[in-house]
Structure 1
Amino acid sequence: MIKPFKIPCVILCGGQSRRMGEDKSLLPFSNSNSLTQYQYNKLKPHFNEIYLSSKVDKFDFDFNKDKYLVLDKGDVFSPLIALETIFKTIKSSKVFIITVDTPLVTIESISRLINESINSDICVAQTQRTHNLCGVFSTNLLDEVKQMLSKDIHKIGYLLKNNKTKYIDFINEDEFINLNNKDEYNKAMSIISKSNK
């Protein structure tokens, strides 16, 4: 029996996918019709609530869109705008955030990030680089996010630097691979097909 984490999860699916050349959230992955559906199905047993954050409703699989689809307003593509909408929408003191294009992050690593997030505003994963959008965020950062946006600051790194952020070290670089282009997508497909055998 899986005991779900006590905090909600949000999968960020609203990026522009410029380097991929097509919307990566809709690319097929492993045995799923889309990367979004793969992430959703993988995480669903471990969270009571999973939200999808996006600019538009582009999802063709079954979930409660009225309750769990969080749509950004406006034309600007910015993860900070997504965070503002998420913090306004979700009535929970903390949320676990993950991007749709990091499908290899394990439940064990997510569990570690959640457990380590006590006494911090933000708790994110770090390998040789920091994974700014894989971790736990306090929703009480809303005012700070609004202030940043009013100054046209959109960098998540700025938010991390100016708050009580904990960085959790992980060894396996492949686990946190971002599928930004076709090579990374093919590499992740290869890793997942080997792990499914």
Structure 2
Amino acid sequence: MNTLPFEIPCVILCGGKSSRMGEDKALLPFSNFDTLSQYQYEKFKPFFKKVYISSKTNKFDFDVNLILDKSNIYSPIVALKSIFESLKDEKKIFIISVDTPFIKIETIKKLIDNSLNYEIVVPQTEKVHNLCAVFDKSSLLFIEKMLSENIHKVGYLLKNCNTKIIKFYDEDEFLNLNDKIIYNKANLYIR
């Protein structure tokens, strides 16, 4: 892959409630790193022109480019608005949730390579993985409309924007670390 680093930024979403995990998953240790967020941040740094973390607060004990989402609403749609407002000069941004640590760089490259004529490009295995996607700034208008109508479903955004869905077949690559059982298995696997 001689096109690296990618000419777009990466933003890791770390502002969720982690209700199924029972504690903030972004701060859980992972692999050889103190936190899952640091693992993701370091994983993506060599491949993007810049990597950011989107969060409600600065809860990180490592040097990070932070985008603060100051809303009291926990919603990826609110986070997307905050991200585009913070990165005003960026046309396209790769967004990924902190709890998907097995995404391959080749997969991200395929999403980016297919994003030219689309507002959103997302992967799909058995389901659509809507928080591992390339978002174009042109989707911000619809995001603002959704928020004005109190709509917070990412699936609704995908259905109403010019979205391309790309099929992938490795379900494990898109594993979400949503609860302790999956987290513990993934942590054993990565070590």
Normalising by structure 1, what TM-score?
Answer: 0.93
Whether 1:81 and 2:78 are equivalent positions in the alignment is yes
Whether 1:9 and 2:7 are equivalent positions in the alignment is no
> Deviation of residue 187 (structure 1)?
2.2
Question: Distance between the aligned counterparts of 1:58 and 1:103, measured in 2?
Answer: 19
For the Cα contact (< 8 Å) 2:94–2:133, is it kept in 1? Answer: yes
For the Cα contact (< 8 Å) 2:125–2:169, is it kept in 1? Answer: yes
Question: Distance between the aligned counterparts of 2:4 and 2:103, measured in 1?
Answer: 19
1:127 is aligned to: 125
C-alpha RMSD of matched pairs (Å): 1.2
Secondary structure, counterpart of 1:70 in structure 2 = strand
Question: Distance between the aligned counterparts of 2:93 and 2:3, measured in 1?
Answer: 19
Q: Which amino acid aligns with 1:17?
A: S
- Percent identity of equivalent pairs: 57
Aligned length: 189
Secondary structure, counterpart of 2:187 in structure 1 = helix
Q: Which amino acid aligns with 1:144?
A: F
For the Cα contact (< 8 Å) 1:87–1:140, is it kept in 2? Answer: no
Whether 1:58 and 2:56 are equivalent positions in the alignment is no
> Deviation of residue 30 (structure 1)?
0.3
1:189 is aligned to: 187
Secondary structure, counterpart of 1:52 in structure 2 = strand
Q: Which amino acid aligns with 1:61?
A: F
For the Cα contact (< 8 Å) 2:71–2:78, is it kept in 1? Answer: no
Structure 1 unaligned blocks of 5 or more: none
Residues 113-153 of structure 1, C-alpha deviations (whole Å, 9 max, x = no match): 11111211100111100001101000121121111001000
> Deviation of residue 4 (structure 1)?
0.2
Question: Distance between the aligned counterparts of 2:135 and 2:75, measured in 1?
Answer: 17
1:143 is aligned to: 141
User: What does 1:15-26 align with in structure 2 at a 5 Å threshold?
Assistant: 15-26=16-27
For the Cα contact (< 8 Å) 1:104–1:188, is it kept in 2? Answer: no
Question: Distance between the aligned counterparts of 2:173 and 2:45, measured in 1?
Answer: 19
Structure 2 unaligned blocks of 5 or more: none
> Deviation of residue 74 (structure 1)?
2.3
1:72 is aligned to: 69
Residue range with higher mean Cα deviation, 23-32 or 110-119: 110-119
Secondary structure, counterpart of 1:189 in structure 2 = helix
Secondary structure, counterpart of 2:141 in structure 1 = helix
* Matching residue within 103, 106, 109 for 1:108: 106
For the Cα contact (< 8 Å) 1:15–1:77, is it kept in 2? Answer: yes
User: Which portions of structure 1, spanning 4 or more consecutive aligned residues, are displaced by more than 3 angstroms?
Assistant: none
1:49 is aligned to: 50
1:161 is aligned to: 159
Question: Distance between the aligned counterparts of 2:128 and 2:146, measured in 1?
Answer: 20
